[in-house]
Amino acid sequence: MKHTPFFSIHQAAGAKMVPFAGWNMPVEYTGINDEHVTVREKAGVFDVSHMGEFFVTGPNAFDYLQYITSNDIEALFDGKIQYSCFPNGKGGIVDDLLVYRYNREKFLLVVNAANTEKDWNWCVHNAGEFGIVPGRDLINSSDEIAQIAVQGPLALEIVQKLTRTDIPGMEYYTFCETEISGIKNALFSTTGYTGAGGCEIYVRNEDGPKLWNAVFEAGRNMGIKPAGLGARDTLRLEMGYCLYGNDINDQTSPIEAGLGWITKFTDKKDFIDKELLLKQKNEGVERRLKGFIMIDRGIPRQHYEIVDQSGNIIGEVTSGTMSPMLKQGIGMGYLAKGFWKPDTEIFIRIRNKDLKAKVVNTPFIK
């Protein structure tokens, strides 16, 4: 079981630790609901050092990434970040990821912890055609990088105390290399997966604890708290963000998952599964990932059946929870055609009872 550079800090803070994707990670400190509300209203800090990081460099980096990712790399400029996915050649998704553009010949890919090895093998598998040499042009730096996510409405104000860079002046989904609390060449990005605003910061492993302590000292009088994987999951679900392994996987297409907005069919972009996904876009699909909110009291969970008024199975829950902000059960699931319109009445089968819910647009909170 791997430990992040913050392991001893989590232990000292009394975190409940759990195995996750081969890592020993904090699931909660003071409680999922408390941490969730803190991030929505103030600021919370997540250890996300388990994420994977691959650097892609060289004159063919641009064309290579244009082929293996679904989004349009042409839309990126230096310092810009893009959400994308790896199509798997069979209509499914290898993983979703972030693409950071330093310049046309240098990119950083940030992938999910549970998929790091699979993603690396996929990138290597497709590298030869573009003259990308693993170990030279494709570097796996996952075990060398510590990463924290400082999330919430006060996050940028807190981190601004630690750097001369004009953080609030940065656009959403951009990044820069800067000095933070005396740590040089820290990568600072205006990203996160909570919908609460904030940033993510990457440093060398040995600088991780120094960064963590500096952020908490800067936010000491602003209500900052550490937050675990539990709150990270409920926060992303309130925003309707997909989680790989729940809402998307090797059998779900980006079109079915509502990720058509990161699947770009431009004339200059030839990418894996382009023809298949374009056909799905033009002809439609038989199921779509949709959000729903419980009308009857109940908490939806992954794999619960979704049925119509007559009890016919029309889908399956992929993610569900009791929303800490709405105090209501919310979830996402793949629904059969005919049940996608907002306010459509559906039922979630919970312990052999069909509890009423309705389809809604995400995010669940505005």
- Does residue 29 have a pLDDT over 90? yes
Q: How confident is the model at residue 208 (pLDDT cuts 50, 70, 90)?
A: very high
User: Cα–Cα–Cα angle for 191, 195, 199, nearest 5°?
Assistant: 25
Q: How many CB atoms lie within 10 A of CB 322?
A: 17
Token reading at 160: 């601004």
> Pairing relation of β-strands 145-151 and 44-47?
antiparallel
Number of residues in the chain = 366
Give per-residue pLDDT as tens, 287-346. 999 999 999 999 999 999 999 999 999 999 999 999 999 999 999 999 999 999 999 999
Question: How high does pLDDT run on average in the chain?
Answer: 98
Write down all domains in the chain, each with its CATH number in brackets. 7-50+143-238 (3.30.1360.120), 286-360 (2.40.30.110)
- Residue 351 DSSP SS3: coil
CA distance 53 to 55: 7
CA distance 314 to 338: 9
Between the alpha carbon of residue 173 and those of residues 76, 100, 160, 214, the distances in Å are 11, 9, 17, 23
Percent of all residues in the chain with a pLDDT value above 90, rounded to a whole number: 100
Between the alpha carbon of residue 134 and those of residues 21, 54, 68, 141, the distances in Å are 24, 10, 15, 12
Exposed, middle or buried by CB within 10 Å (0-12, 13-18, 19+), for 115?
buried
| pTM (whole model) above 0.85 | yes
Exposed, middle or buried by CB within 10 Å (0-12, 13-18, 19+), for 303?
exposed
Backbone angles phi, psi at 226, to 5 degrees: -75, 150
How high is the pLDDT of residue 366? Answer: 85
- Does residue 215 have a pLDDT over 90? yes
Cβ pair 330, 292 in contact under 8 A: yes
Query: Which of 204-216 are b and which e, b meaning 16 or more Cβ less than 10 Å from the residue's Cβ?
Result: beebbbbbbebbb
CA distance 97 to 110: 6
Q: Which residues contact 133 (CB under 8 A, 6 or more apart)?
A: 127
How high is the pLDDT of residue 218? Answer: 98
Between the alpha carbon of residue 317 and those of residues 112, 146, 325, the distances in Å are 21, 33, 20
Give per-residue pLDDT as tens, 251-280. 999 999 999 999 999 999 999 999 999 999
How high is the pLDDT of residue 308? Answer: 98
Q: How confident is the model at residue 47 (pLDDT cuts 50, 70, 90)?
A: very high
